[in-house]
Amino acid sequence: MRQLLFFMLILFFQQTAWSQDSAYLKNTDTLLHHVPSRATKRSALIPGWGQAYNKQYWKIPLVYGVLAIPASTYVYNDDWYQKTKFAYEARFKENAGDASDVSKIDAKLSNLSLASLQSYRNIFRRDRDYSIMWFILAWGINIVDATVSGHLKEFDVNNNLSIRLTPYVQPSQQQSGLALQFNFKGNHAK
C-alpha cells in the first residue's frame, strides 16, 4: 500500500513538472496586462495592496490614515466604555449594599450618579459601535478606489482626444447657447 501511494505521488509530481508546455507560454502575455479584479481582491485582503498593484503608492498613506481614525476612536471609546461599565456596576452593587468595588472606580467617574454612569456607558458603547461601522465603510471605500483605479489604469487619454466649448447663435430662432464639440483624431481601428 505504501509503495502504491509513493508511486502515485511520484507520478503526480512528474506530471506537474511536465505540464509546463507551450500552452502556458501562450497565456503569459495575458498575465502582463493589468487586471482590475486583482486590485479589488488585494485591497479587500490588505488595505492599500490594491493601490500598490495599481502603482498608486501615494494613496497608501491616505488609506491607512483614513482607517486609523475609526480605529483610534474605537480604542478610545472602548476604553471609556469599559471604565463606565465597571463604575456603573460598582455603583449598582453599592446601592444593593456591597461597596467593595467603589474604590476601584476611575477618579474622573467617582462623583457621577448611577443614572449618569448608565448614560455615559451607553454613549461610549454606541460610539464604539459607530467606530466599527466607519472602519468597515472606510475599508469598503479603499476597495472601491482600487477597483475604479484598476479599471481606469488602461484608459486611453492621449493628445488625439480633444473637447471644445464654443458659443453658437441661431438668428432664425433667436437662440444662443454653448456647443460642446468632441474631436477624435487619428485611427481608432484595432
In sequence order, which residues have a C-beta less than 8 Å from that of residue 174 and are 6 or more positions away?
none
Question: For residue 161, what pLDDT is reported?
Answer: 65
**181 assigned to some structural domain:** no
Tell me if 6 is assigned to some domain.
Answer: no
Interval 116-133: pLDDT, tens: 999 999 999 999 999 999
**Confidence label for 159 from pLDDT (cuts 50, 70 and 90):** low
Nearest CA to 86 among 108, 102, 107?
Answer: 102
Residue 53, judged by CB atoms within 10 A of its CB (0-12, 13-18, 19+), counts as: buried
Q: How far apart are the first and last CA of the chain?
A: 59
> Measuring CA to CA, which residue among 120, 97, 98 is closest to residue 108?
120
Q: Is residue 4 part of a domain?
A: no
Domain count, the chain: 1
Euclidean distance between CA atoms 143 and 67, whole angstroms = 12
DSSP SS3 for 56? coil
Range of the domain at 130: 45-152
* Per-residue pLDDT at 4: 59
Please indicate, yes or no, if residue 126 is contained in any of the structural domains: yes
Is 63 a domain residue? Answer: yes
Kindly report the pTM of this predicted structure: 0.65
In a domain, 31, yes or no: no
| Structural domain contains residue 3 | no
Indicate the residue type of 39: A
